[in-house]
Amino acid sequence: MLRNVTISRITVLVMGRGKRSNVADAYLHASQAKNLTVVTGATIEKVVFEKSTAVGVRVIGDNQPSAAFGKTERYSKDVKAARMVIVTCGALGTPAVLERSGVGSPDILQKAAIEVKVDLPGVGHDLDDHQLICPMYRAKEGAYEPFDEYARGVDSVKGVIDAEYDRTGKGIAASNGFDYGMKIRPTQKEIHSMGPDFAAYWKRIGADKPDKPLYSNVTHQSWSCTLLLRPTTYNPDPASRGSIHITSSDPFAAPRAITGFLTRPEDLPVHVWYYKKQREFSRRLPFYEGEEADSHPRFDPDSPARLRYPGDLNKTDKPVEEDSIAYSAEDDKAIEQYVKENVATAYHSIGTCAMKERQRGGVVDSRLNVYGVKNLKVADLSICPSNVGTNTTSVVLLIAENASNIILDDLKDEAAHTRSRESKL
């Protein structure tokens, strides 16, 4: 019996006859707004201020034609804002825009020769990301349709699949390859085995929240090889934090990004624990054929935990508790080393301009306003004070829709205030 595990089909942004839904289709193209201009081939250098009020942004072109500005060479142009400036450059981009604008930690700004307008040390701090581990497994011949060959554009496969999609709106071309996933919480015994640092952390963030997972797992076919199965697994709420800051006033200069992965002692035992779990899940799949050695820890060849590919030697249909692989202390060290060498970003960066009190390192208030200035808001994943137990796409959409309501309310309040003031003149 498996305890504390939830398994379900994954909700995807694929609608109707296999058409992927996205922000451009759902909002921009559908609205056909006449007051919207999209400028491509341009970079935001900074927010332009008059005293402490944001009045626009400075745009730097990159030698590409710009229909909006009538430019074909590299250029710099200030775009004025009628009412307010809203920065939505993401958890990795928004801190850089603010810092180049003089909003951030004085230490960071002074090193980049930027005048400090607002002392706001939370900018670029507390970078949070889902820590990803992707061990892979071999699958039996004919276990599933060749998604990888379609993704690589193999003519003999792509033609057939595209024809099916054109005819029915179904098949591989109507799928993103992610069909099911699971979320799992640790048992009391497992919590104890991960050590006192983790136990204290889990008590604080998840012990009393029965719907909060410690690990998430999405299993899908590898896009590089038909017979590879890839569990994409990540810790949705790690303790470790990183940072991202500018190194120069030049908007084209690379920032200094520090992931912070595994810098807190609570995180490594979680990855070791779940590596063992996902291996047990994977070897019970009906089409399991063994581990892909290059994507697993380097166990001692004589260890009972050693990899067993090729062949079906490691397959079992027994319940996890009855027939789990035994790991020694040396095996655990091998897993730890594997995690340190392979942990990666899930591209779910978050938290670098957090919505919380300024004295606690916050950058924006509950109405998205950047502390210390006027008419400047941030509306992207950077405002989240901590990460979420899901793919962050839906969170971005939620932030955007709520931001639109906040912005409209503020504009209405401003208009009402203006009318009231004028009526008294």
Residue 1 pLDDT exceeds 50? no
Average pLDDT over every residue of 377-395: 93
CA distances from 175 to 27, 167, 184, 297 (A): 22, 15, 25, 31
- pLDDT at residue number 312: 46
Percent of the chain with pLDDT over 70: 90
Average pLDDT over every residue of 416-420: 77
366: which residues sit within 8 A by CB, 6+ positions away? 355
pTM: 0.88
Q: Residue type for 183, please?
A: K
According to the per-residue pLDDT averaged within each range, which of 181-185, 314-318, 349-353 is highest? 349-353
Instruction: Supply 111's token pair.
Output: 């090193």
115: which residues sit within 8 A by CB, 6+ positions away? 102, 109
Average pLDDT over every residue of 99-109: 98
β-pairing verdict for 131-133 and 344-345: antiparallel
User: pLDDT for 408-417, tens place per residue?
Assistant: 999 998 888 7
Percent of the chain with pLDDT over 90: 58
Domains in the chain (CATH in brackets) are: 5-20+130-236+262-345 (3.30.560.10), 37-128+349-423 (3.50.50.60)
Residue 422 pLDDT exceeds 80? no
Burial of 273 (0-12, 13-18, 19+ CB in 10 A): buried
User: pLDDT for 50-70, tens place per residue?
Assistant: 999 999 999 997 655 555 566
Give the bridge partners for 61, in sequence order. Answer: 42
Residue 321 pLDDT exceeds 70? no
Which of the residue ranges 197-201, 322-326, 350-354 would you say has the lowest mean pLDDT?
A: 322-326
Q: How confident is the model at residue 87 (pLDDT cuts 50, 70, 90)?
A: very high
C-alpha–C-alpha distance, residues 245 and 295, integer Å: 32
- pLDDT at residue number 9: 75
- Residues 355, 368 contacting (CB under 8 angstroms): yes
Phi, psi of 140 (to 5 degrees): -65, 150
Q: What is the DSSP string of 215-265?
A: EEEEEEE-SS-TTEEEEEEEESS-S--BEEE-SSS-TTSPPEEE--TT-ST
Q: Residues 62, 67, 71, 75: what is their CA dihedral angle, to the nearest 10 degrees?
A: -40
Mean pLDDT of the chain: 88
According to the per-residue pLDDT averaged within each range, which of 79-88, 177-186, 211-220, 310-319 is highest? 79-88
188: which residues sit within 8 A by CB, 6+ positions away? none
Kind and range of the H or E run holding 278? helix 268-282
Q: How confident is the model at residue 227 (pLDDT cuts 50, 70, 90)?
A: low
Between residues 175 and 207, the one the model is more confident about: 207
- pLDDT at residue number 410: 95
Q: How confident is the model at residue 27 (pLDDT cuts 50, 70, 90)?
A: confident
Residue 291 pLDDT exceeds 80? yes
The separation between the first and the last C-alpha atoms of the chain, rounded to the nearest angstrom, is 76
- Residues 425, 166 contacting (CB under 8 angstroms): no
Q: Tokens 């790690």 belong to which residue?
A: 238
Residues acting as catalytic residues? 348
Instruction: Supply 39's token pair.
Output: 């400028």
- pLDDT at residue number 111: 97
- pLDDT at residue number 146: 66
